[in-house]
Chain A
Amino acid sequence: MTTLPRRAVLAAAGALALPAIARAQGAARLVVVGGGFGGASAASFARRRFPWLDVTLVEPQRAFVTCPYGNLVLAGERRIEQITHSYEGLRARGVRVVHDRALAVDPAARTVRLAGGDTLSYDRVILSPGIALRWGAIQGYDEAAAARMPHAWLPGDGTQTRTLRRMLEEMPDGGVVGIAIPDNPFRCPPGPYERISMIAHYLKRHKPRSKILALDAKEGFSKQPLFQDGWRALYGEMIEWVPASRDGKVTRVDPAGMVLETEFGTRHRVAVANVIPPQRAADIAAPFAAANGWVDVDPTTFEARLAPGVHVVGDANNGAPMPKSGYVANSTAKQAVASAAALLRGEAPPEPVYFNTCYSHVGQDYAISVVGVFRVGPRGIAEVPGAGGVSPRGDLPEQRRLEALHADSWYDSITRDMFA
Chain B
Amino acid sequence: MLKPPLLGFAFAALAALPSAAQAPLAAEGCLGCHGPRGGGQGGIAALAGRDADELAAIMRAFRANERPGTIMGRIARGYTDAEIAAVAAHFAALR
Known A17-B13, A353-B26, A417-B36: A409·B18 in contact at CB below 8 Å? no
Contact of A49 among B6, B11, B22 (CB under 8 A): B22
Judge whether B77 and A386 touch: CB under 8 Å: yes
Q: Of A9, A335, A406, A412, which one neighbours B10 at CB under 8 angstroms?
A: A9
A384 to B21, CA, bound (A): 22
Interface residues of A (CB under 8 A from B): 1, 4, 8-10, 12-13, 17, 20-21, 45, 49-52, 327, 330-331, 334-335, 338, 341-342, 347, 349-350, 352-355, 357, 369, 371, 373, 384, 386-389, 391, 399, 402-403, 405-406, 408-410, 412-414, 416-417, 420
A409 to B42, CA, bound (A): 5
A352 contacts B25, C-beta separation under 8 Å: yes
B71 touches A371 (CB 8 A): yes
- CB atoms of A9 and B7 under 8 A apart: yes
CB pair A13–B18 under 8 Å, yes or no, is no
> Within the assembled complex, what's the spacing in Å between the Cα atoms of A402 and B68?
13
Kindly state the separation between the CA atoms of A13 and B12 in the bound complex, as whole angstroms: 9
Contact of B49 with A by CB under 8 A: no
- Let me know if A51 and B20 touch, CB within 8 A: no
A52 to B18 alpha-carbon distance, docked (Å): 9
List, in ascending order, chain B residues with CB within 8 A of A9's CB: 2, 7, 10
Which residues does B use to contact A, with CB under 8 Å?
Answer: 2, 6-7, 9-11, 13-14, 17-23, 25-26, 28-29, 31-36, 41-44, 70-71, 74-79, 83
Cβ-defined contact, B28 with A334, below 8 A: yes
Q: A402-B43, A406-B44, A413-B42 are known contacts; what are 4 more A-B pairs with Cβ within 8 Å?
A: A10-B2, A17-B13, A350-B25, A416-B41
A4 and B36 alpha carbons, distance in the complex (Å): 35
Task: Sample 16 A-B pairs with CB under 8 A, ordered by A number.
Answer: A12-B10, A350-B20, A352-B25, A353-B29, A353-B79, A355-B29, A371-B75, A373-B75, A387-B79, A388-B74, A403-B70, A406-B33, A406-B43, A406-B71, A413-B44, A417-B36
Complex Cα spacing A399 to B32, Å: 20
For residue A325, give the distance in angstroms from its CB to the closest CB of chain B. 11
Once bound together, how far apart are the Cα atoms of A357 and B2, in whole Å?
A: 48
User: At the interface, is chain A mostly helix, strand, loop or mixed?
Assistant: helix
B77 touches A413 (CB 8 A): no
Pair B75/A387 contact, Cβ less than 8 Å: yes
Residue of B with least CB distance to A50: B18
Q: Is B78 in contact with A388, judged by CB distance below 8 angstroms? A: yes
Q: In angstroms, how far is the closest chain B Cβ from the Cβ of A104?
A: 30
Q: A347-B19, A406-B33, A416-B35 are in contact. Are A1 and B11 (CB under 8 A)?
A: yes
Chain B residue at minimum C-beta to C-beta distance from A369: B71
Measured CB to CB, the nearest residue on chain B to A400 is: B70
Are B21 and A405 in touch, CB under 8 angstroms? Answer: no
Assess the B41–A413 pair: CB atoms within 8 A.
yes
Known: A350-B20, A350-B21, A405-B42. A8 touches B32 (CB 8 A): no
Instruction: Check if B17 sits within 8 Å of A391, measured CB to CB.
Output: no
Chain A nearest CB, measured from B69 CB (Å): 9
With beta carbons under 8 angstroms apart, the residue of A353, A408, A420 that contacts B42 is A408
Give me the 3 closest cross-chain CB pairs, A-B, nearest first.
A373-B78, A355-B29, A387-B78
- Contact A373 B14, beta carbon cutoff 8 Å: no
Return the contact of A402 from the options B32, B70, B77 (Cβ within 8 A).
B70
**CB <8 Å contact, A20 and B17:** yes
Q: What's the Cα separation between A330 and B28 when bound, in Å?
A: 9
Closest A residue to B69 by beta carbon equals: A402
A342: B residues at CB distance < 8 A: 20
Q: Which residues on A sit within 8 Å (CB–CB) of B41?
A: 409, 412-413, 416
Closest to B76 in A: A387
Known: A341-B20, A350-B21. A371 touches B74 (CB 8 A): yes
- Return the contact of A412 from the options B6, B7, B42, B71 (Cβ within 8 A): B42
Note all chain B residues with C-beta closer than 8 A to A402. Answer: 43, 70
Q: Which residue of B10, B26, B33, B44 contacts A13 across the interface (Cβ within 8 Å)?
A: B10
In the bound complex, what is the Cα–Cα distance between A51 and B35 (angstroms)? 21
Give the distance to chain B from A123, nearest Cβ to Cβ, in Å: 16
Smallest CB-CB separation from B83: which chain A residue?
A353
| Min CB–CB distance B34 → chain A (angstroms) | 7
Q: State in angstroms the CA–CA spacing of A387 and B28 once bound together.
A: 18
Q: Which residue of A lies closest to B74 (CB)?
A: A371
Evaluate contact between B20 and A409: CB separation under 8 angstroms: no
B2: chain A residues within 8 A (beta carbon): 9-10, 13
**B78 pairs with A384, CB closer than 8 A:** yes
Looking at B25, B44, B76, B79, the one whose CB has the most chain A CB atoms below 10 A away is B25
